Chains A and B, each alone.
Chain A
């Protein structure tokens, strides 16, 4: 039915898919699994025409297809329900289902009754009842998802991609979704199911394809594997990269930061963790498990339901990141372009952005000589490769951009630095340098929280690891327990202790 043959994809010089094969039959539910960054999303974007493969071919029922864009893929019977829904919130279900493909008469007026009838038919086929006339923003997440599925079917999808559809559903809603999926399977629709929840895969799927680091690992029937074997395939055996040695952190090392209770959403799970002086605490977990939100809540940049912190035993609450900075907590954000750099600024002004207190003369004016000297010193210390301090930051490589963001914190007396995905989009050489820098920071007495989706990095760098799942910490592991299987197991199947 569907074949993707040796698909390769490069972004610039970096190849992210190294010849992946994927086959799915009509009327099967096929799980696509792998860690963050394994290439699942990229592969699916190629399937639905959003990205073009560098090499390889897409065959549907034996015929080779080339999709110029998403619309071309839709016309060939492919439907995708993305993680972030693509519904227009103020339109109702019917209007959303026929968006950009509205039925109209020869005068160009909408055939509202015909669209409504067709929508009713599809909903009945799916066995779901949804108020069709209501703006979709008033529907529950699950109902919105059904609208997405119905939309794909209205466009005659025979191949349906569901990208983590259960991430935000309650167990009852998941059951309902599975019923709908089974119904579609009966009708011969091929469903590609992406999920990080392994138990769901064993419940609903027929076959599994595993990707790892952009490579095809295996494809087999669900009945041929168990959870442990699956995790092993996802994690694989890797060559350890060059992580600096972990210094021994004495158990008696003083706790610098104690998060007694962090609750992201009212009624959600409550996390508790502490950070010892000189330690790197890893935040592991899948994308969307609440790692970043927890860190942002700590520095007052995310409106958490509850965030009780104390620093060196003194209870404290930050209204904004400026207060956190004053207390010695800084964040190096996940997305350098959107949250880290002022791209219209040269390096020097990006580095000094939160350092001007040090460069004042006459109380009000910038001591530009000192600003330049300090920036050059920081660039030398971090080995930033650039034309000079006046170079524009968007001309730098990812690794050097990250160093510019790090340089901003170099001249503060910090207690805690939060590195959110410190090496995302950075080449191997620069990664090793960043790891080295992090250890230099801890040697200076800083403590680090490192949020990372890369398991080898979490394992190689962390002295202890908090594993997140569905908005809270499900386990904290240390010592020999910091290994891929253990962490993946907690991240995909860990149970949350729900404290109201």
Chain B
């Protein structure tokens, strides 16, 4: 095949020759988007206030913490790993940064930065144990989850640490124009993650490890380094989520974020990322997170018993994964 023909076919594969709707249908985003649209319409029928601008920003603000956790989770799951420690690491980061501000008189910005640093440190810890220690990610991060939670509870005695500088609430409830700050933070983090995954060699190597770790390693990809990096990213996003959460609660809460790791995993998987790694898109994850958010928001607006909501959410996840089984 000549250069031109190959180049032309490369262009065609991007959608110039095949109808746009057809290539869109085969995009991994097709199903999550369809789910989002269907659920939104259903919620719109069920509740008049659902489609108001204020409610939509409200939903986005509510999902922002889990959505940010889900960014790191996407990196980890794409390599074929899992990170169960994100909720506990977030709680520890929030508790410690509040403690540093209140008990040690650190300036607020330094306290928040220290929280992010704690997330980063625990992420490196997870990554080293998985990549160099060759331990299963699910066990390593389960252990880290317990350790992080325990440290936070011991330090705080189990009580929230309050008395933070008032400007910190800007991160949780502030607005720029009409857009809530957590939503802006979420969008920036997703944009950075998208660039990392789609436009850098690092991103390609993340996908390559999830697709075929042995082949990647044998061709010279530094697999251990990449794995350490993805757990580190997950630790950082946990620390960033802690900033938002601390701003919202105006305190360091050692008991915050219980079960958030499962919500983050659900968002990643609902977004079309394969739990075994190698396939998936970061944009799917944000759709998955928003989908989960809309679901609980809508069910709340309808006044449905919260226990029943859990059951409904569970079945919807099962249904989504069932539909997605054979989809390419």
| Contact call B3/A380, Cβ cutoff below 8 A | yes
Judging by beta carbons under 8 Å apart, are A333 and B215 in contact? yes
- A326 and B212 alpha carbons, distance in the complex (Å): 21
> Which one of B10, B212, B218, B224 contacts A388 once the chains associate, using CB atoms below 8 Å?
B10
Give the complex CA separation of A104 and B14 in angstroms.
Answer: 62
Instruction: Name which of A41-49, A162-170, A358-366 contacts chain B.
Output: A358-366
B220 sits at the interface (CB 8 A): yes
Taken together as a complex, chains A and B put the C-alpha atoms of A338 and B195 apart, in Å, by: 29
Is the pair A390, B14 in contact by a Cβ cutoff of 8 Å?
yes
> Is B211 in contact with A321, judged by CB distance below 8 angstroms?
no
B7 within 8 A of A: yes
Q: In whole angstroms, what is the CA distance A379 to B4 when docked? A: 12
Q: Which of B179-238 contact A (CB under 8 A)?
A: 195, 199-201, 204-205, 207-208, 210-212, 214-224
Chain A residue, CB-CB nearest to B217: A321
Give the chain B neighbours of A301 by CB distance below 8 A.
217-218
CA distance A238 to B278 in the complex (A): 45
* Cβ 8 A contact of A356, one of B1, B201, B224: B201
Q: Answer whether residue B6 sits at the interface, using C-beta atoms and an 8 A cutoff.
A: yes
Q: Choose from B6, B14, B219, B279 the contact partner of A353 (Cβ within 8 Å).
A: B219
Within the complex, the shortest CB–CB distance from B153 to chain A, in Å, comes to: 38
Within A309-341, the residues touching B (CB, 8 Å) are 320-322, 324-326, 330-331, 333, 338-341
Cβ-defined contact, B218 with A356, below 8 A: no
A385 CB-CB contact with B under 8 Å: yes
- Residue B13, interface by CB 8 Å: yes
B207 to A344, Cβ gap below 8 A?
yes
A349-B222 contact in complex given A339-B214, A344-B211, A380-B6, C-beta closer than 8 Å:
no
> A354 interface residue, CB < 8 Å from B?
yes
Question: With an 8 A cutoff between CB atoms, is B103 at the interface?
Answer: no
Does B12 sit at the interface, judged by CB under 8 A?
A: yes
CB pair A380–B1 under 8 Å, yes or no, is: yes
Across-interface contacts of B224 in A (CB, < 8 A): 320
**A residues less than 8 Å from B54 (CB atoms):** none
Name the residue on B nearest A405 (C-beta): B219
Distance of A212 from chain B, by nearest CB (Å): 32
Contact partner of B200 (CB less than 8 A), chosen from A321, A365, A388, is: A365
Establish whether residues A322 and B220, one from each chain, have CB atoms under 8 Å apart when the complex forms. Answer: yes
| Chain B contacts for A377, CB-based, 8 A | 3
Judged by a CB distance under 8 angstroms, whether A430 is at the interface is no
Q: Could you tell me the distance between the alpha carbons of A44 and B222 in the complex, rounded to whole angstroms?
A: 41
Chain A CB count within 10 A is highest, among B3, B219, B221, for: B219
Contact, CB under 8 Å: B219 / A390: no
User: B215 is contacted by which of A339, A359, A389, A390 (Cβ under 8 Å)?
Assistant: A339
The answer to the question of B9 belonging to the interface, with a C-beta cut-off of 8 Å to chain A, is yes
| Residues of A with C-beta under 8 A to B1 | 379-380, 385
In the complex the two chains form, is A338's CB within 8 Å of B220's CB? Answer: no
Whole-angstrom CA separation of A360 from B200 in the bound complex: 8
Contacts of A339 in B (CB 8 A): 212, 214-215, 218
Known contacts A320-B222, A390-B13, A340 near B215 by CB under 8 Å: yes
Chain B at the A interface: mostly helix, strand, loop or mixed?
Answer: helix
Contact partner of A360 among B14, B201, B208, CB < 8 A? Answer: B201
Complex interface residues of chain A between 340 and 386 (CB less than 8 A to chain B) = 340-345, 348-349, 352-354, 356-357, 359-360, 364-366, 368, 372, 376-377, 379-380, 385
A324 to B212, CA, bound (A): 19
Bound-complex Cα distance A467 to B217 (A): 28
Contact partners of A331 in chain B: CB under 8 A: 218
CB-CB under 8 A from A365, the residues of chain B are 195, 199-200
Complex formed: what's the CA distance from A48 to B12 in Å? 49
Q: Closest CB of chain A to B116's CB: distance in Å?
A: 21
Total count of chain B residues near the partner, CB < 8 A: 34
Q: Is the CB of B6 within 8 A of A330?
A: no
B9 to A388, Cβ gap below 8 A?
yes
**What CA separation (Å) do A352 and B200 show in the bound complex?**
12
A217 to B302, CA, bound (A): 79
B199 near A333: Cβ-Cβ < 8 Å: no
Q: In the complex the two chains form, is A372's CB within 8 Å of B3's CB?
A: no
CB-CB nearest in chain B for A377: B3
Q: Is the CB of A324 within 8 A of B9?
A: no
CB of B6 within 8 A of CB of A354, answer no
Q: Which of B86-111 contact A (CB under 8 A)?
A: none
Question: Is A366's CB under 8 angstroms from B200's CB?
Answer: yes
Q: Which residues of A contact B207 (CB under 8 A)?
A: 342, 344-345, 349
Docked CA distance A391–B224 (Å): 29
Query: Taking the complex as formed, is A408 at the interface, i.e. its CB lies under 8 A from any CB of chain B?
Result: yes
Given known A366-B199, A366-B200, contact A338–B3 (CB-CB < 8 A): no
Most buried by A among B204, B214, B223: B204
A353 and B208 contact, CB distance less than 8 A? yes
Given A344-B278, A390-B10, does the pair A366, B204 have CB atoms closer than 8 Å?
Answer: yes
> How distant is the Cα of A356 from the Cα of B207 in the complex, in angstroms?
14
Q: Is A498 an interface residue (CB 8 A)?
A: no
Q: Which residues of the other chain, B, contact A354 by a CB distance below 8 angstroms?
A: 219-221
Q: Which 10 A-B pairs have the closest CB atoms?
A: A388-B9, A356-B201, A325-B220, A390-B13, A342-B211, A344-B211, A354-B220, A354-B219, A322-B222, A344-B278
Q: What is B's interface to A at a CB cutoff of 8 Å?
A: 1-3, 6-7, 9-10, 12-14, 195, 199-201, 204-205, 207-208, 210-212, 214-224, 278-279
Query: What are 7 of the A-B contact pairs (CB < 8 Å)?
Result: A338-B212, A339-B215, A340-B218, A344-B211, A353-B204, A366-B200, A376-B7
Known: A352-B204, A380-B6, A389-B10. 18 other contacts (CB 8 A): A299-B218, A320-B224, A322-B220, A324-B220, A325-B220, A331-B218, A341-B212, A342-B211, A345-B208, A353-B204, A353-B216, A353-B219, A353-B221, A357-B201, A365-B195, A388-B10, A389-B6, A390-B9
